[in-house]
Structure 1
Amino acid sequence: MDKITCVKALEDPKYIKPIEIHYTQKDQKKKWEAIISHDSVAILLWHKEKDAFIIVKQLRPPVFNLHKDGYMHELCAGIVDKEIPLSEIAKEEVLEECGYDIPTINLRYVTSFFTSVGISGAKQTLYYGEIDESMRVHDGGGIHDEEIEVIELNTNEAKTFIFDENFQKTPGMMMAFYWFFENIKN
Structure 2
Amino acid sequence: MNNSSFSLLFSRKYGVFDMYDKNDVQVLGCEPLYNGFFKCNKFTIKHKLFNGEWSQVIQREFFERGKAAALLAYDKKRDAVILVEQFRFGAMDSQRSPWLFELIAGMIDEGQTAEEVAKREAFEEAGLVVDECQFMLSYYVSPGGTTETIDIFIADVDSENVQGIFGLEDEGEDIKVHVVPREEAYQWVQSGKIDNATTIIGLQWLQLNYKEGLKI
| Identity in percent | 22
* Cα distance change, pair 11–17 in 1 and its aligned pair in 2 (3 A): closer
Question: How big is each residue's C-alpha offset from its partner over 1:55-88, in whole Å with a ceiling of 9 and x where there is no partner?
Answer: 1111111222x44742222110000013122211
Q: For residues 96-123 of structure 1, give each alpha carbon's deviation from its aligned partner in whole angstroms, at most 9, with x where no partner exists.
A: 00111111xx200111111122221211
C-alpha RMSD of the superposition? 2.3
Q: Does 1:13 align with 2:36?
A: yes
Distance 2:207 2:94 in 1: 31
Residues 1-186 of structure 1 mapped to structure 2, 5 A cutoff: 13-14=36-37, 16-25=38-47, 26-64=54-92, 66-67=93-94, 69-103=97-131, 106-133=132-159, 139=164, 141-144=166-169, 145-165=172-192, 167-185=193-211
Q: Distance in 1 between matches of 2:146 and 2:129?
A: 31
Structure with bigger RCO (C-alpha 8 Å, 6+ apart): 1
Aligned-pair distance for 1:93?
A: 0.3
Q: Deviations over 1:129-174 (max 9, x none)?
A: 01015896x8452112201111112112123111212x24212211
Q: Residues of 1 paired with 2:186 and 2:160: CA distance?
A: 27
Q: Secondary structure at the match of 1:27?
A: coil
Matches of 1:42 and 1:154 in 2, distance apart? 19
Kindly indicate whether the alpha-carbon contact (under 8 Å) linking 1:58 and 1:149 is maintained by their aligned counterparts in 2.
yes
Change (3 A) 1:177 1:76: same
Q: Which residue of 1 aligns with 2:30?
A: none
- CA 1:37–1:126 in structure 2 vs 1: closer, same or farther (change >3 Å)? same
Q: How far apart, CA to CA, are the structure 1 residues paired with 2:159 and 2:194? A: 28
Mark the runs of 5 or more structure 2 residues left unpaired by the alignment: 1-32, 48-53
Q: Structure 1 length normalisation: TM-score?
A: 0.81
3-state SS of 1:28 partner: coil
**TM-score if structure 2 supplies the norm length?**
0.71
What is the one-letter code of the residue matched to 1:184?
Answer: Y
C-alpha distance in 2 between matches for 1:62 and 1:135: 31
Instruction: Report the CA distance shift for 1:139/1:49 in structure 2 as closer, same or farther (over 3 A).
Output: farther
| Higher Cα Rg, which structure | 2
AA aligned opposite 1:107? C
- What is the number of equivalent residue pairs in this alignment? 171
